[in-house]
Amino acid sequence: MKNVLIIYPLWHPSNLAGVHRPRLIGNFLPEFGWHPIILTVKEAFFEEIPDLDFEKTFKDHFEVHRVNAIPLGKIRIFGDIGIRSFWQLYKGAKKIITENKIDFIWIPVPSYYPALLGRILNSKYKIPYGIDYIDPWVRDMKNYPNSGLRQRLALGIARILEPIAVKKASLISGVAKAYYQGVLDRNDKRAKKVDVAMPYGFDPNDHVLKLDVETPWSNEKDVIPYIYAGTFLPNSAPFFHKFFATIKKFRDMNQWNDHIKLYFIGTGLYPGKTIQELANDFDLSDVVIEKRDRLPFLNILYFLGQAQGVLAIGSPSPHYTASKIFQAILSKRPVFAFFHEKSTVVDILKECNADQFLMTYNDNDSDEDLDIRLERILRSYFLNEVNWNVKLECLEKYSARASAKVLVGGLNKVLGNSNV
């Protein structure tokens, strides 16, 4: 069995979104002849509240090595754990490499800065490496109108460091090709790199784990709960404006069921207005409940299954793909989705017969056309009887197991090209 060293500074009990990438892929790598060795940071240096149940979703074949990091301290200079642990990860990687035969090094980003370790370790040990894009490193900031000096400084640094990190990479991967196409376009095209795209996918075992927890609406009488679970990014705001404006119209026309409550869970902290503030602008403070703190992953899966319906709202970007769409479909609850028509989410929903309440956006759509279509879909979703019959078997090709197989195909191709 070949060994892949996965360098990612977060691991359980952190349940930040990025941790799911190496977890989901790594859960299935041994099926395809690869043993995952994880290099990460000790949990004492994590910022987030630990999710102790999260460990249940990790298979026991992971070989995990943890290193120290620079503590945050009272004055927050560098919060990014990839910066705080960079030197320690480098030393940890050297130790692992000297004690094991490592066939490949795979580094999911963000955090982006550990991507540089691939270049450094390749120079020293000649081990091929790849960078996996969970999110783009260099991004178009026009979608972040309220970004400040810190964000723009980070972008400037990214434009300098990314070419250094990827120059000697043998493989570039990502959750969708659009997430890393710019990397291939910006850098030396003569240096042929293997590239593979595979979604986060899902592990069906996650959905059979049971918890005894209360939902956010457990103490609400006669409530009809709908839930949106996940981060709220600033460039999604136009879709939320449309969404809330339509609900306000229903209320103004006395066509809204006052027992319906919309719960937005784990939306995070980003520049600009919060979802609650956007809802308040439309006089929906009694309809919308936002809880911005991240909640345990298994709790979220449970909440999705207990809700009346699940909301999946994306952004006007055509290459925005939401990994949470799999959890939404697997909840077996009706899904309202709002995405650009070219998003991969649209194809997934259609293939699974889960597009009954799909609202798509096109760059040439007029506001009037969008408003008319959105009103029709939301009226059917919230106010009419729903018949929901999805084909879960169609999701198999999007599973984490399928994604692991795609990645292994890329790894084996690299090793074949290198005559290793």
Q: Are residues 224 and 188 in the same domain?
A: no
Q: What average pLDDT does the segment 288-296 reach?
A: 92
pLDDT score at 29:
98
188 and 337 share one domain: no
3-class SS letters over the chain: CEEEEEECCCCCCCCCHHHHHHHHHHCCHHHHCEEEEEEEECHHHCCCCCCHHHHHHCCCCCEEEEECCCCCCCCCCCCCHHHHCHHHHHHHHHHHHHHCCCCEEEEEECCCCCHHHHHHHHHHHCCCEEEEECCCCCCCHHHCCCCCHHHHHHHHHHHHHHHHHHCCCCEEEECCHHHHHHHHHHCCCCCCCEEEECCCCCCHHHHHCCCCCCCCCCCCCCCEEEEEECCCCHHHHHHHHHHHHHHHHHHHCCCCCCCEEEEEECCCCCCCCCHHHHHHHCCCCCCEEEECCCCCHHHHHHHHHHCCEEEEECCCCCCCCCCHHHHHHHCCCCEEEEEECCCHHHHHHHHCCCCCCEEEECCCCCHHHHHHHHHHHHHHHHHCCCCCCCCHHHHHHHCHHHHHHHHHHHHHHHHHHCCC
Q: Are residues 210 and 170 in the same domain?
A: no
9-64, pLDDT tens digit by residue? Answer: 999 999 888 999 999 999 999 999 999 999 999 999 998 889 999 999 999 999 99
Mean per-residue pLDDT for 395-400? 92
- Same-domain check for residues 336 and 226: yes
**CATH code of the domain in which 391 resides:** 3.40.50.2000
Most confident range (mean pLDDT) of 103-117, 176-190, 210-224 is 103-117
The amino acid at residue 64 is V
pLDDT of residue 77: 66
The reply to whether 45 and 134 lie within a common domain is: yes
Average the pLDDT over 277-293 and give the result: 95
pLDDT band at 419 (very low <50, low <70, confident <90, very high): very low
| Domain shared by 195 and 210, yes or no | no
Among the listed residues 334, 220, 384, the one whose alpha carbon sits nearest the alpha carbon of residue 286:
220
Q: Are residues 327 and 279 in the same domain?
A: yes
Are 17 and 144 members of one domain?
Answer: yes
- 239 and 366: one domain? yes
Provide the whole-model pTM: 0.84
Residue 96 has pLDDT above 80, yes or no: yes
Quote the longest CA-to-CA distance of the chain. 70
Same domain, 191 and 260: no
Say if residues 367 and 245 touch (Cβ distance below 8 Å). no
**Residue 355 sits in which domain range?**
206-395
The pLDDT score that the predictor gives to residue 278 is 94
Kindly state the average pLDDT of the residues 307-322: 88
Q: Which amino acid is at 257?
A: N
Domain count for the chain, please give it: 2
Same domain flag for 237 and 303? yes
Residue 87: pLDDT above 90?
yes
| pLDDT reported for residue 386 | 81
Residue 143 pLDDT exceeds 70: no
Q: Note the pLDDT of residue 139.
A: 74
- My answer on whether 262 and 182 are in the same domain is no
Model confidence at 152, in pLDDT bands (50, 70, 90)?
A: confident
Mean pLDDT for 338-350 is 92
Q: Determine the average pLDDT of the residues in 373-385.
A: 93
Q: Is the pLDDT of residue 114 over 90?
A: yes
pLDDT digit string, tens, across residues 258-274:
999 999 999 987 777 89
